[in-house]
Amino acid sequence: MNLLEDEPLAIEPAPKPSKHDSLFDGDAGTLPLDARRALCQLLSGPSVDQGRHSQLWPAVLRYEAQLRSHLNDLFLELVLDRDAGVAFTRQADTGELETPVLLRSSPLTFIDSVLLLHLRQQLAEADAQGHRAVVEESTLVDALSVYEKNLSTDRAGFNKRVAASIGKMKENHVLEKLRGSEDRYEVSPALKLLFSAEDVQALAQIYRQLRETDEVAKEVADER
């Protein structure tokens, strides 16, 4: 399905909360069932995608204001891109106010960062051509091989790190396996919201300098 060519969804305004929305004994909630399911997906993460969550996506659009309110109660904010067909939650910037952190985070390794940049670039190229961003695991390994020398490790150790990074992207649904395929994945459109075009350009320059520095060092070593 090409989201770029789809007609925009006609979303009716959300009805006002009603006392008749009770879903179980003692239920004090005000959201209807589909909105609660969308809220649960947003909280469990990593995102609600129009392609993967076709039943939840209309609820996100219809109940956007209510979902934002419920998330704000938890010091979270809703990030929503209708054109990309993706929504997710992130910690709200509360400044100096001390607030609990509900969303788990994990540090990125050098290879994680490089892989995310590569996937973001693949997503941008696919968007420009109007189709989904699909990558193969073997090509990801080849694309990252230019950074092998930066890690000062052997080939087996480098491949192990790359495999671990790809596994992390699968676990966090940045990469979604295509049906009927063992090594082909679709890149999540959520990356467009996590990395802006400016971020991509800045990171690409940094990693380009890393590659060039390593290539110069190799040329000097070869000349000796």
Q: What is the pLDDT along the chain (224 residues), one digit of tens a residue?
A: 444 455 666 677 666 655 556 889 999 998 999 999 999 999 987 789 888 889 999 999 999 999 999 999 999 999 998 988 889 988 888 888 888 888 766 777 888 888 888 898 888 888 888 888 899 988 998 888 877 776 666 788 888 888 999 998 988 888 988 888 878 999 988 887 777 666 667 666 766 666 665 543 343 334 34
Examine the domain organization and report whether 55 and 146 are in the same domain: no
Domain that holds residue 86: 19-91
Examine the domain organization and report whether 87 and 166 are in the same domain: no
Within 13 Å of residue 66, how many CA atoms lie on the same side as its CB? 19
Query: Which one of 34, 59, 91 terminates a domain?
Result: 91
Residue 98 belongs to some domain of the structure: no
CATH number, domain with residue 120: 1.10.10
Examine the domain organization and report whether 215 and 116 are in the same domain: yes
Residue 158 belongs to some domain of the structure: yes
Examine the domain organization and report whether 44 and 116 are in the same domain: no
Task: For residues 50 and 218, give the distance between their C-alpha atoms in angstroms, rounded to a whole number.
Answer: 47
How many structural domains compose the chain?
Answer: 2
Examine the domain organization and report whether 162 and 84 are in the same domain: no
Summarised one tens digit per residue, pLDDT across range 103-139 is 766 777 888 888 888 898 888 888 888 888 899 988 9
Examine the domain organization and report whether 114 and 219 are in the same domain: yes
Helix (H, G, I), strand (E, B) or coil at 201: helix
Examine the domain organization and report whether 129 and 29 are in the same domain: no
- E strands, the chain, where? 48-49, 76-81, 86-91, 134-136, 175-177, 184-187
N-terminal to C-terminal alpha carbon distance within the chain = 56
Examine the domain organization and report whether 30 and 133 are in the same domain: no
Query: Which one of 60, 91, 122 terminates a domain?
Result: 91
Burial of 10 (0-12, 13-18, 19+ CB in 10 A): exposed
Task: For residues 67 and 151, give the distance between their C-alpha atoms in angstroms, rounded to a whole number.
Answer: 43
Examine the domain organization and report whether 46 and 134 are in the same domain: no
DSSP at 193: H
Residue 101 belongs to some domain of the structure: no
Residue 78 belongs to some domain of the structure: yes
Residue 12 belongs to some domain of the structure: no
Structure tokens that stand for 67 in this block: 């979902």
Q: Which residues are 213's β-sheet partners?
A: none
Structure tokens that stand for 34 in this block: 């589909």
Examine the domain organization and report whether 115 and 218 are in the same domain: yes
Length of the chain equals 224
Query: Which one of 91, 121, 144 terminates a domain?
Result: 91
